[in-house]
Amino acid sequence: MSARILVVDDVVPNVKILEAKLTVEYYDVITASNGADALDLAVEKSPDLILLDVMMPQMDGFEVCQRLKKDVRTAHIPVVMVTALSETTDRVQGPEAGADDFLTKPVDDVALFARVKSLLRLKMMMDEFRLREETSQDLGVLSEEDSYPLSAQKGRILVIDDNKFSADQLLQAYGDKYDVTVEGDMEEAQVLARGGDFDLAVVSMNAQGFDPLRFCSRIRTFEETRQLPILTLVEESDSDRLVKGLELGVNDYVMRPIDNNELIVRTKTQVLRKQYQDRLRHNYHRSMELAVTDGLTGLYNRRYMSNHLDSLLQKAENDFKPVSLLIMDIDFFKNVNDSHGHDVGDYVLKAFSSRIGRSVRGIDLACRYGGEEFVVVMPDTDLAVGSGVAERLRREVADYPFDVSKSEIQLDLTCSIGVTMSTHGEKSDSLLKRADEALYQAKRDGRNRVVSA
């Protein structure tokens, strides 16, 4: 995959080496020799990834990373700290500053490129969700409050380790910070992962009873766990397995012997990222739902119905099956608003919608057409069945008063319904027009009745 990478290092040979390696892999490379220039370029060029040296004069890499993560324009850019430092405290300080990973010089090429590809894949996905969220806000489907960062929830972690001593160490390290489930059987762990809504999977690469790489691979193939972050625990001498894990989609790793501080920091980073990613995905699906439904009644809106009806009619023509359509209107609904107020009117609309839902099938499409008008589209349904459903709905409204509990009033209401059935080759506009004409005929004939066209 092609991407723009910003390399930041005050030592020119280091910059040139990384630039040459990345360019050979067809990445677009831009460079900076100090923190101030790096911050400016991050805003101006909007790189997809930043490789950031720690030891720089005036402003070290930790401060640069903190500033990047505090700026809304650059906070989403993955940062990999690259340094000659190798102490555990340095590996902890990087993630605490907001870095996505920490690599020690001299950097192994295979590990570097595996990390770069992993972070770029993640960024592409996150960018797509952020763009959809911004679009939903621009359209007014989501409010700005929906984009505020959520407070961190207590994360759920699945530990896959068949060594009891090692698993107990992890439980002790996590303490009560996380809700931890330990499983030593790979097949059972897969079942738990697919149904457990976990925020992180911690996989021991020292497992004896199963292949941990096989487990990581399977996690990435299941739809339910494809986005589940994976943190591996690996021996420093087992670099081949680590690199392979990164290629398979492992998000991060901690070297054995495990430093608890580093484990907690890296765990926190992955859990927070997963929760943020889940929030973006939730907002996206919610915006899609809000875009096609009526906010008051919860039924589909007119735009969705119109598009869906065209598709249904085309399918019905191909299958030589009819489509019936009902248009209904609450009789004298204006009097409800005028006499009792719009709150009561809204209650009636919602209650009316509920009665529609109880009277139609799961495959039928019910929508609020506008005001007090509603439409039900019934696939594979002839006029006789459609008329029968309409008559049942009319009785459901007329025979049972609407009890408005908060206003302590009871309203006796009726509805008028027009019914029609599609003809071969008919378009949605024509079908809707005939049903609408039947509705108005029902009103002219005295209301509280069903008229078929």
The strand pairing partners of 252, in sequence order, are 231
Alpha carbons within 13 A on the beta-carbon side of 444 = 8
Residue with tokens 């409204």: 397
- Degrees (nearest 5) of the Cα angle 204, 175, 151? 100
Strand arrangement of the beta sheet that strand 4-8 belongs to: 28-32, 4-8, 49-53, 79-83, 101-104
Q: Kind of pairing, strands 402-404 and 409-411?
A: antiparallel
Q: Residue 358: what residue type? A: R
Residue with tokens 């193939």: 221
- Integer angstrom CA distances of residue 235 from 168, 238, 254, 359: 18, 5, 9, 63
Residues 284, 132 contacting (CB under 8 angstroms): yes
Catalytic entry in 19, 133, 262, 372 = 372
Q: What is the Cα–Cα distance from 401 to 197, expressed in whole angstroms?
A: 44
Taking the CB of residue 399, how many other CB atoms lie within 10 A of it? 9
Q: Residue 178: what residue type? A: Y
Q: Among this protein's residues, is 372 annotated catalytic?
A: yes
Nearest residue to 363 (alpha-carbon basis) of 348, 378, 352: 378
Q: What is the DSSP letter of 79?
A: E
Q: What is the Cα–Cα distance from 367 to 115, expressed in whole angstroms?
A: 48
Q: Residue 153: what residue type? A: Q
Q: What is the Cα–Cα distance from 160 to 157, expressed in whole angstroms?
A: 10
Q: What is the Cα–Cα distance from 385 to 228, expressed in whole angstroms?
A: 48
Which residues are part of the catalytic machinery? 372
